[in-house]
A and B are shown apart, each in its own frame.
Chain A
Amino acid sequence: MALTLKQQLSSPGGILKFLVKYNTIFIFLLLVIFSALISDVFFTSVNLSNLLKQVSGIGIISIGMLIVILTGGIDLSVGSMVALLAVTFAILVNIFALPLAILFTIVLGFGLGSVSGYLVAYQKMAPFVATLALMTIARGMSFIYSKGSPVTFTTVGGQYMSNFANNSTLGIPNIAIVFFIIVIMAMVMLRYNVFGRLIIAIGSNEEASRLSGIKVNKYKFLVYAISGALAATAAIIVASRTNLGSPNMGMAWELDAIAAVVIGGASLNGGKGTAINTLMGVLILGLIGNILNLLNVPSYPQQVVKGAIIIFAVLLQRFESK
Chain B
Amino acid sequence: MADLVIPRHILDDIVTHANELTPYECCGLLAGNDGIVSRLYRIKNIVAMEGAQNLSSFDSAKAAHLERLSPAERAEIAFVMDMQDFSTAKKDMRNSGLDLQVVYHSHPHDPARPSVTDIKIATDYEEIWPKINLPLPAYLLVSLMNTEPDIKTYWIKSGRVTPVDVLIR
A and B interact physically: no
**A→B interface (CB under 8 Å):** none
